[in-house]
């Protein structure tokens, strides 16, 4: 049995970064990845990078104003080719970055616990057993497919992964689920020229977002032709010669849609399947995630979990920060914990992107804050005007007693960059006047933070 100081199960963001950091300290490390097509993990192969490449190409496709569906479909195929080349290059680079480290061995196979220190790996060339002093689980998340009649039998049902491999642009696309993936794909495919219908079980679109912002997002996507049905209970999916029929109930009315393709985007759950966690005595939560403490230690002290598999926020940057917590625990002063994450920003990459940090107006009031509110239409921003990207709304929530920024929702071009500036102001405890009076370059989207926070003063 080969012996390692550290075994990392899964080639995700946290795992690969940790492997490199441990190797740089001379540690003997094994990284186990189940698929040759997943070196580098979800983000670069089937997640953030391919989807954001399609967001970019979908935007370019709209600028070209192609007149026929055939031209749009050709544009889509070309975008898929570019996306595939990009991720193949990144996957290769990710593999090489670890493979070139003298003390790292990459195993391609499925890992499972045989005991608290022994990991079995099923490879193409047979099974092997590895021994690890410390073990790090970084196996990500997998899609949840709801229990809907016919969903597994239909040839027209796709996940985010399989739809991005389908070279034919769907004329009509039904998306089940209006979360991150549902909305990003709605924006992408509507941009390429598909007719898009989104069905979601929640009564309101983006119900955890600020009400006015959610309405602005809805109107913007509707202008692109996206049709929303909220409060929908899907009854079945059935293939017919005209396409897949999706039957659903909406406010006591029976309805149905016919589509060339159906995207299921109903959430992703921690991927613990096949890990044989009981063999190591590792507990899971009632939501199926690996149970960890604030240092990301599982119920077995020498085994840690990082990224999506430990539950909570599913973002690449959280997996990366998990790696920082673990490195601080191993080599630092053990001050970093998951409790440090007071303000985590996020972006939904529709066009324009929606980004948020902190509380919405409704949440702040519910928490008992007296608030001051500022709203700025994106159309008032000089940079937005000159870029012809005037769609959107910016909104800030400030505590009326302390002048601290409680939250900010930015639905405008470049909001995924701007939100990080607001986050830093919040993290460092600045008053809103810091952003109101900060010197920004001109003409830029970020200078609109001057104008947004100026409106608080009134």
Ligand X SMILES: Cc1cc2nc3c(=O)[nH]c(=O)nc-3n(C[C@H](O)[C@H](O)[C@H](O)COP(=O)(O)OP(=O)(O)OC[C@H]3O[C@@H](n4cnc5c(N)ncnc54)[C@H](O)[C@@H]3O)c2cc1C
Ligand Y SMILES: NC(=O)c1ccc[n+]([C@@H]2O[C@H](COP(=O)([O-])OP(=O)(O)OC[C@H]3O[C@@H](n4cnc5c(N)ncnc54)[C@H](O)[C@@H]3O)[C@@H](O)[C@H]2O)c1
Q: Which residues bind ligand X (CB under 6 A)?
A: 9-14, 32-35, 38, 41-43, 46-48, 51-52, 110-111, 138-140, 160, 181, 271, 274-275, 307-309, 314-317, 319, 349
Interatomic CA distance for residues 65 and 345, integer angstroms = 34
Which partner from the list ligand X, ligand Y, none does 193 bind, CB cut-off 5 to 8 Å by kind? Answer: none
> Helical H runs in 100-179?
160-163
Q: Closer to ligand Y by CB, 135 or 320: give it.
A: 320
442 is catalytic: yes
| Residue 278 partner contact from ligand X, ligand Y, none using kind-dependent CB cut-offs of 5 to 8 Å | none
Is the CB of residue 132 less than 8 Å from the CB of residue 32?
Answer: no
Terminal Cα distance for the chain, rounded: 70
When CB distances are held under 5 to 8 angstroms depending on the partner's kind, the choice from ligand Y, ligand X, none that residue 217 binds is: none
The span from the CA of 244 to the CA of 58, in Å, is 25
What does 95 interact with, of ligand X, ligand Y, none (CB < 5 to 8 A by kind)? none
Residue, CB closest to ligand Y: 179
Give every CB contact of residue 371 below 8 A, 6+ residues apart in sequence. 361, 364, 365, 397, 398, 399, 400, 406
DSSP letter (8 states) at residue 10:
S
DSSP 3-state percent helix, strand, coil across the chain (nearest 5): 35, 30, 35
Q: Which residues in 103-165 belong to E strands, given as ranges?
A: 104-113, 118-123, 126-137, 141-143, 157-158
Query: CA–CA separation, 346 vs 357, rounded Å?
Result: 7
Q: Which one of ligand X, ligand Y, none is in contact with 265 (Cβ closer than 5 to 8 A by kind)?
A: ligand Y
Tokens 């690890």, residue?
132
Q: What is the DSSP string of 356-397?
A: EEE--HHHHHHTT--EEEEEEEGGG-HHHHHTT----EEEEE
348 touches which of ligand Y, ligand X, none (CB within 5 to 8 A by kind)? Answer: ligand Y
- What are the residue ranges of helices labelled H in 25-146? 41-45, 48-64, 69-99
Q: Which is nearer to ligand X, 1 or 313 (CB)?
A: 313
Give the nearest distance from C-beta 432 to ligand Y in angstroms: 26
Find the shortest distance in angstroms from Cβ 250 to ligand Y. Answer: 11
Least CB distance to ligand X at residue 103 (A): 20
- Beta carbon of residue 308, minimum distance to ligand X (angstroms, whole number): 4
* CB-nearer residue toward ligand Y: 59 or 101: 59
**Least distance in Å: CB of 8 to ligand X?**
9
Least Å distance, CB 253 to ligand X, is: 31
Distance CA 68, CA 74 (A): 10
Strands 346-348, 354-358: pairing kind: antiparallel
Cβ proximity to ligand Y: between 46 and 282 the closer is 46
Nearer to ligand X, 111 or 406 (CB): 111
Nearer to ligand X among residue 313 and residue 380 (C-beta): 313
Give the whole-angstrom CA distance, residue 162 versus residue 169.
13
Which of ligand X, ligand Y, none interacts with 317 (beta carbon under 5 to 8 A by kind)? ligand X
Three-point CA angle 397, 212, 390, nearest 5°: 95
Contacts with ligand Y by CB under 6 A lie at 146, 176-182, 184, 199-202, 232, 234, 265-268, 314-315, 346-349
Q: Which is nearer to ligand Y, 214 or 445 (CB)?
A: 214
238 alpha carbon, distance to own chain's centre:
30
Of 302, 369, 416, 442, the active-site residue reads: 442
How near is the Cβ of 347 to ligand Y at its closest, in Å?
6
Point out the residues that are catalytic.
Answer: 442
């Amino acid at each position: 049995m080969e012996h390692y100081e550290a075994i990392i199960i899964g080639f995700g963001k946290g795992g690969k970064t940790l492997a490199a950091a441990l190797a740089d300290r001379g540690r003997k490390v094994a990284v186990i990845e189940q698929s040759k097509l997943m070196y580098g993990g979800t983000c670069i192969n089937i997640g953030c990078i391919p989807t954001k490449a399609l967001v970019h190409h979908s935007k370019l496709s709209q600028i070209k104003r192609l007149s026929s569906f055939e031209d749009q479909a050709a544009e889509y195929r070309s975008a898929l080719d570019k996306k595939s080349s990009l991720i193949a290059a990144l996957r290769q680079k990710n593999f090489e970055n670890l493979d070139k480290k003298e003390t790292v061995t990459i195993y391609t196979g499925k890992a499972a616990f045989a005991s608290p220190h022994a990991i079995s790996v099923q490879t193409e060339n047979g099974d092997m057993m590895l021994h690890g002093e410390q073990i790090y689980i970084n196996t990500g998340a997998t899609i949840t497919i709801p229990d809907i009649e016919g969903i597994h039998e239909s040839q027209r049902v796709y996940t985010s992964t399989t739809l991005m491999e389908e070279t034919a642009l769907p004329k009509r696309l039904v998306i089940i689920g209006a979360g991150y993936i549902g909305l990003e794909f709605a924006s992408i495919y509507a941009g390429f020229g598909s007719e898009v219908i989104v069905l979601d079980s929640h009564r309101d679109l983006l119900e955890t977002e600020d009400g006015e912002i959610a309405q602005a997002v809805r109107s913007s996507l509707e202008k692109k032709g996206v049709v929303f049905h909220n409060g929908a209970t899907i009854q079945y999916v059935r293939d017919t010669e005209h396409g897949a029929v999706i039957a659903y109930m909406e406010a006591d009315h029976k309805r149905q849609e016919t589509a060339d393709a159906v995207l299921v985007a109903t959430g992703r759950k921690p991927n613990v399947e096949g890990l044989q966690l009981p063999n190591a005595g590792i507990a899971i939560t009632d939501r199926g995630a690996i149970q960890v403490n604030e240092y990301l230690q599982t119920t077995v002290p020498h085994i840690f979990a990082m990224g999506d598999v430990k539950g909570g926020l599913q973002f690449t940057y959280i997996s990366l920060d998990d790696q920082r917590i673990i490195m601080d625990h191993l080599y630092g002063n053990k001050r970093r914990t998951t409790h440090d994450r007071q303000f985590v920003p996020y972006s939904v990459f529709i066009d324009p992107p929606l980004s948020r940090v902190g509380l919405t107006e409704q949440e702040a009031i519910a928490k008992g804050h007296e608030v001051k509110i500022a709203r700025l239409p994106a159309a008032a921003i000089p940079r937005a005007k000159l870029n012809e990207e005037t769609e959107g709304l910016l909104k800030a929530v400030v505590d009326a007693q302390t002048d601290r920024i409680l939250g900010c929702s930015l639905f405008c071009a470049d909001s995924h960059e701007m939100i990080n500036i607001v986050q830093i102001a919040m993290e460092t405890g600045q008053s809103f006047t810091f952003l109101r009076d900060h010197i920004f370059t001109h003409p830029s989207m970020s200078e609109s933070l001057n104008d947004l926070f100026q409106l608080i003063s009134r």
